[in-house]
């Protein structure tokens, strides 16, 4: 198992970890198979989406902020971050990747993103590569 450590900068942001995930794969030596990227936090997730135009992430965070408000009066969890947990549930805390010829198989516009929903914090991501 490999670990990526990252430092997020604001409460909600998507941080591209595509290069770090590819580095982990390269070190593993696996040429064909699959990988699981797993976020061990409950207020941050992982996703695969467009890495070309940063406005896609901006719009995604706008939608999430508008539809899952931090200050919903009915929320009872007293840390004030129920919205972060819900966003994590909706996006999920892991992504699955396919490996061919020692490379991540990604579409032309895709990248792997760490989804920070309650930063800024130091965060970890775990990776496991399986030969197929």
> By CB neighbour count within 10 A (0-12 exposed, 13-18 middle, 19+ buried), where does 67 fall?
exposed
Among 31, 53, 103, 120, binds a second copy (CB under 8 A): 53
H and E: helices and strands count for the chain? 3, 8
CB of 90 to a second copy, least distance (A): 5
126 and 37 Cβ atoms separated by less than 8 Å: yes
Residue 110 in contact with a second copy, rule: CB under 8 A: yes
Q: Considering beta carbons, is residue 23 or 75 the nearer one to a second copy? A: 75
Among 36, 70, 102, 121, binds a second copy (CB under 8 A): 36
What's the Cα-to-Cα distance from 75 to each of 5, 61, 115, rounded to whole Å?
31, 20, 22
64 and 12 Cβ atoms separated by less than 8 Å: yes
Site string for a second copy, 66-105 (x = CB under 8 A): xxx---x-xxxxxx--x--xx-xxxxxxxxxxxxx----x
CB of 92 to a second copy, least distance (A): 6
Instruction: Kindly identify the residues of this chain, within the stretch 2-31, that bind a second copy according to CB under 8 A.
Output: none
Alpha-carbon span 75 to 57, nearest angstrom: 26
Residues that bind a second copy (CB under 8 A): 1, 32-34, 36, 38-42, 47-50, 53, 55-56, 58-60, 62-63, 66-68, 72, 74-79, 82, 85-86, 88-100, 105-110, 126, 128-132
């Amino acid at each position: 198992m490999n670990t990526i450590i990252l430092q997020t900068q604001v409460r909600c942001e998507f941080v591209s970890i595509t290069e770090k995930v590819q580095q982990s794969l390269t070190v593993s030596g696996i040429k064909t198979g699959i990988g699981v990227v797993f976020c061990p936090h409950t207020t941050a997730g992982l996703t695969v989406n467009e890495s070309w135009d940063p406005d896609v992430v901006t719009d995604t965070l706008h939608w999430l902020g508008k539809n899952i408000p931090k200050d919903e009066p009915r929320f009872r969890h007293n840390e004030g971050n129920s919205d972060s947990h819900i966003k994590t549930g909706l996006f999920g805390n892991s992504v699955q990747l396919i490996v061919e010829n020692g490379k991540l198989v990604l579409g032309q516009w895709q990248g792997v993103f760490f989804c920070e929903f309650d930063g800024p914090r130091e965060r970890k991501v775990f990776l496991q590569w399986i030969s197929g």
